[in-house]
Structure 1
Amino acid sequence: MKIFTAENIRKTDDYTIRNEPISSVQLMERAALSCVDWISVNCKQHTKFVVFCGNGNNGGDGFAIARMLYLKGFDVDVFINKDKVSFSEDALINYKRLKDISGISVKDFSEIEKYNFEKAVIIDALFGTGLSRNLQGIYKDLIENLSLKKNPKISIDIPSGMFADQLNEKNDVIFKADYTLTFQFWKKTFLHPETGKFAGKAFVLDIKLSYEFIDKTESDDFVIDDDLILKIFKPRADFTHKGTYGKSIIVGGSYGKIGAAVLAIKSALKTGSGLTFVLAPNCGYEILQTSAPEAMFIEGGVKNIDTIDEQENAVYGIGPGLGTEKETEKTLLKFLENHKSPLILDADALNMISKNEDHLKLIPKKSIITPHPKEFERLFGKTENSFKRLKVAKTKAKQFGFYIVLKDHHTQVVNPEGKVFYNITGNSGLAKGGSGDILTGIITSLLAQKYSSEDAAILGVWLHGKAADLAAEKHSKEAMQPTDVIDEIGNVFLDLNQKATTLL
């Protein structure tokens, strides 16, 4: 799914109005109905809604939503700024329709101090994606007041006060929603940690904006959705053998850190690698052979890795539990000097590479590096925020010709052409040591199975997150372990195969 800027969303609206054809107020009605349908299904236990409406089209959405909720039998009150009653053209139409219904009271913002919010759901329809400056005055005070309420909160299209395409300033006031019902597209700011926390759980509602216009309009930003994954995924064919699905070699482990290699190798096996090896120090031999008997062991040292042998037609995933001993660092850099095929680099491999910027030039083209924010900082320097970090990632991916999997709550896959793919699977249960080792094993396995570097990275982060979501459902985010994520990889593949077969 493409992510559009606020300007391109406006152009998509305009194109749809001209070419469907449909009037702008009818399109507003369609958007409002999609919200009411969602609310009717997901808020059945609530009977009272309080809708806060601005003077623009977002407020018009709010007026229409309030009217429709009332006609469905809910109790609804609406708050507006009565000192400023100059509405946009479409908002005015829906305001007049609302006023014709005697059962809905329209109150002024100043009345909220006396209002009884008990058991009410608060709906924010104050400002939409057209907002160009931070909130001040009455609106700032209003949102600060509403933020103190413990009521469930829903934002329409975007939380009021949030920009769609850029980060807010640190002290800007933004409505903090539990749920955001957004139209047609993810907003980029939902996907970054500084602002995404205000959107709560976002739901993208299809309001049938012109698919023709969306298809032909370029974007460099995408959300990894099921449609994209089903285009990438290659079901396992009959009449194949282990050689068909590649040779994966996980290079990792050191004294006291063999567990990281175990997690990586197990996830590579679960992801379908045809031949799977682990190159580790001899101190991990018994642990690795016992934990993953399906994988073949290659000795690379005694307590730390000091030898990495080159094998033909193999994909290397290097880093889990590797350690940063001088001999290991020397061995890694020597290997990179001679190795020309794409590989995966993570964890301690990146930490050793980060010691000298010239080491980045040794990474083969189309390789995949998977840093978390701190590792990214060591590699490329400190950045002020996640937007600027992403900008640096795009520059570095292009400069060095590799893919960057920038791990975060919404992990970003950055390709050398400057395109960014945001992952929306996964949860905070992955915020545990070992989760990154699993991802390394998954991507290594997919690259060995002849997925392109881009497809391996995109499918890998999605698969990792999807398995984590299943693990959280079964064990909770708090209790789930990295091994639980590995155990759920098979269930993700079962679902993928079923969907892929249905499409044939």
Structure 2
Amino acid sequence: MKIFTAEQIRRCDQYTISHEPISSVQLMERASLACADWISENCKNHRKCAVFCGNGNNGGDGFAVARMLYLKGFDVDIFVQDPKMKFSDNALVNFKRLKDVSGISIREFKEIDQYHFDSKTLIIDALFGTGLSRPLEGIYKRLVNQINLKENVKISIDLPSGLFADSFSDAGVTVLRSDYTLSFQSWKKSFLHPETGPYAGKVIILDIGLSREYISATETNDFVIDDDLVKHIFKPRKDFSHKGTYGKVVISGGSYGKIGAAVLATRSALKTGAGLTFTLAPKCGYDILQVSCPEAMFLEGGNQYVDHFDMEKDAVCGIGPGLGTHPETEKAFLSFLKNYSEPLVLDADALNMISKAKGNLKMIPKKSIITPHPREFERLFGSTVDSFERLVLARKKAKELNVYIVLKDHHTQVVTPEGNVFYNIKGNAGLAKGGSGDILTGLLTSLMAQGYSEEDACILGVWLHGRAADLAAEKHSQESMLPTDVINEFGNVFEELHKMTAIKL
């Protein structure tokens, strides 16, 4: 799914209006009906709504949603700054329609302190949406601060008021903190970054029938990894195939006390379809690896730590999990990089050793995949003010080095050398445990060995990783799920993929 800027969405609205054709008021009605239907279906325990409306088109959405919810049986109260104020043309149409419906009270913002918000009252935010061009101030700032103090469920229409769609404003600004955001047609960039995403709560994307022609023709460098994208990447195994068909993996990692990381990466590679899997690790991990991963073959790379990297021919190598940064390991690793030209998957201690000198970055083979978390990214490329700026830098470095950067975060971003960014919306906070990244390393290496392009391996890999984590959380909870639980869910995710791609007769 493409991510569009607020300006592109406005143009999409206008294109739809002129080419469907449909009037702007009718399009607002369509969007509002989608919101009202979702609220009616998902908020059955709430029968009262307090709808806060601005004087622009987002307020017009709010007026229409209020009218529709009232007709669906909700008790509805509207809050505006002043019923006599000037509204946008479309908002005014819906405000007049609202006034023709008896039973809906119209109140002013200043009455909020006297209003009774019981536990069954929904708060609906239709103050600004994407129409905001500067931080909230004055009466709106005070109002949003008051709303944020309420414990009621809060639903924002299109965008939480005070939040910008495409960027991060200064820390400390006032933003309505929603439990749900009902947004239209496509994700907003601010929903996907840690500084801004929490304000949106759970994001629901509603299809309101904007022009498919415009969406298809309009270019963007930002995408969400959705099921439709993934099912076009996934390649089911062919009946007439053998282990050689699905490639050869070498996981290089482990050191004394950190063999578990190599185990997790190896098991992940095995469970995600690699034809042959080897683990290059120090001798101290031999028994552990042979017992825990009997399907993998062991390559001795040292005694207590890896001190040489003698890789299997024609293998795809994933390097880093639990590797350690012993001077002998670092020396051997950097020497290996100087003489190796095939794409690698580099994570954890491999990245830590590279980050010790800026010149090391140039030794990363072209088309490699690197998988830093934010602190590793900072050590590699320097500090940034926030995640938006970090992404700008990641785009620059991916192009300079001709590598793929899998920037791990709540919504992990796949950054390509061409400057495209794919946000992963699968996964949960249960992955915030040691070992989760090791699984991803094994998974990415396995997919590359099976013949997926670097870009497709990244996109499918982070999606599969996140989806398996969601299934693990359903069974064990985010708190109790383990990385091994995620590995054990890979089979269920592949079953889902097969159903998504099955030929229907």
TM-score (ref. length: structure 1) = 0.99
What is the match of residue 20 of structure 1? 20
AA partner of residue 158 (structure 1): L
| Gapped regions of structure 2 (runs ≥ 5) | none
CA distance in structure 2 between the aligned counterparts of 1:202 and 1:270, rounded to whole angstroms: 32
Cα contact 2:56–2:131 (8 A) shared by 1: no
CA distance in structure 1 between the aligned counterparts of 2:83 and 2:145, rounded to whole angstroms: 19
CA distance in structure 2 between the aligned counterparts of 1:130 and 1:65, rounded to whole angstroms: 18
- Per the alignment, do residues 262 and 84 of structure 1 end up closer, same or farther by CA in structure 2, a change over 3 Å counting? farther
Deviation of 1:312 after TM superposition, in Å, equals 1.8
What is the match of residue 57 of structure 2? 57
| Gapped regions of structure 1 (runs ≥ 5) | none
What is the match of residue 365 of structure 1? 366
Cα offsets for 1:60-110 (capped at 9, x unmatched): 000000000000111111100017611000000000000111110000000
What is the match of residue 265 of structure 2? 264
Instruction: State the SS of the aligned residue for 2:397.
Output: helix
- Per the alignment, do residues 292 and 185 of structure 1 end up closer, same or farther by CA in structure 2, a change over 3 Å counting? same
Cα offsets for 1:111-168 (capped at 9, x unmatched): 0100001020100000011211000000000000000000001000000000001102
- Work out the percentage of aligned pairs sharing the same amino acid: 69
Q: List, as ranges, runs of 4+ consecutive aligned residues in structure 1 with deviation greater than 2 Å.
A: none
CA distance in structure 2 between the aligned counterparts of 1:38 and 1:299, rounded to whole angstroms: 58
User: How do residues 15-414 of structure 1 correspond to structure 2 at under 5 angstroms?
Assistant: 15-82=15-82, 85-118=85-118, 119-414=120-415
AA partner of residue 145 (structure 1): Q
AA partner of residue 35 (structure 2): C
Cα contact 2:49–2:75 (8 A) shared by 1: yes
What is the match of residue 479 of structure 1? 480
Cα offsets for 1:453-492 (capped at 9, x unmatched): 0000110000000000000011111111111000001100
Cα offsets for 1:1-56 (capped at 9, x unmatched): 00001110000000000000000000000000111111111111111111100000
CA distance in structure 2 between the aligned counterparts of 1:40 and 1:112, rounded to whole angstroms: 24
AA partner of residue 22 (structure 1): I
Instruction: State the SS of the aligned residue for 1:388.
Output: helix
Instruction: State the SS of the aligned residue for 1:193.
Output: coil
In terms of mean alpha carbon deviation, does 468-477 or 39-48 score higher? 39-48
CA distance in structure 1 between the aligned counterparts of 2:386 and 2:144, rounded to whole angstroms: 24
CA distance in structure 1 between the aligned counterparts of 2:219 and 2:270, rounded to whole angstroms: 38
What RMSD over aligned residues (CA atoms) do the two structures have, in Å? 0.8
What is the match of residue 491 of structure 2? 490
Deviation of 1:503 after TM superposition, in Å, equals 5.7
Instruction: State the SS of the aligned residue for 1:194.
Output: coil
CA distance in structure 2 between the aligned counterparts of 1:193 and 1:491, rounded to whole angstroms: 29
CA distance in structure 1 between the aligned counterparts of 2:100 and 2:314, rounded to whole angstroms: 73
In terms of mean alpha carbon deviation, does 371-380 or 74-83 score higher? 74-83
- Per the alignment, do residues 326 and 129 of structure 1 end up closer, same or farther by CA in structure 2, a change over 3 Å counting? same
CA distance in structure 2 between the aligned counterparts of 1:310 and 1:489, rounded to whole angstroms: 27
Cα offsets for 1:375-419 (capped at 9, x unmatched): 000000111100010000000000000000000000000000100
CA distance in structure 1 between the aligned counterparts of 2:467 and 2:156, rounded to whole angstroms: 26
Cα contact 2:345–2:444 (8 A) shared by 1: yes
Cα contact 2:250–2:311 (8 A) shared by 1: no
Cα contact 2:250–2:318 (8 A) shared by 1: yes
Deviation of 1:311 after TM superposition, in Å, equals 2.3
User: How do residues 2-21 of structure 1 correspond to structure 2 at under 5 angstroms?
Assistant: 2-21=2-21
AA partner of residue 260 (structure 1): A
Deviation of 1:307 after TM superposition, in Å, equals 1.0
CA distance in structure 2 between the aligned counterparts of 1:244 and 1:262, rounded to whole angstroms: 24
In terms of mean alpha carbon deviation, does 305-314 or 383-392 score higher? 305-314
CA distance in structure 2 between the aligned counterparts of 1:156 and 1:481, rounded to whole angstroms: 36
- Per the alignment, do residues 35 and 502 of structure 1 end up closer, same or farther by CA in structure 2, a change over 3 Å counting? farther
AA partner of residue 103 (structure 1): G
CA distance in structure 1 between the aligned counterparts of 2:311 and 2:103, rounded to whole angstroms: 77
CA distance in structure 2 between the aligned counterparts of 1:284 and 1:423, rounded to whole angstroms: 34
Cα contact 2:261–2:322 (8 A) shared by 1: yes
AA partner of residue 129 (structure 2): G
AA partner of residue 67 (structure 1): R
CA distance in structure 1 between the aligned counterparts of 2:191 and 2:277, rounded to whole angstroms: 38
- Per the alignment, do residues 503 and 326 of structure 1 end up closer, same or farther by CA in structure 2, a change over 3 Å counting? farther
Cα contact 2:58–2:131 (8 A) shared by 1: no
Instruction: State the SS of the aligned residue for 1:13.
Output: helix
AA partner of residue 215 (structure 2): I
Deviation of 1:502 after TM superposition, in Å, equals 4.2
AA partner of residue 228 (structure 1): L
AA partner of residue 194 (structure 1): E
CA distance in structure 2 between the aligned counterparts of 1:123 and 1:471, rounded to whole angstroms: 33
Instruction: State the SS of the aligned residue for 2:277.
Output: strand
Cα offsets for 1:157-196 (capped at 9, x unmatched): 0000000011021011000000000000100000000000
CA distance in structure 2 between the aligned counterparts of 1:353 and 1:77, rounded to whole angstroms: 60
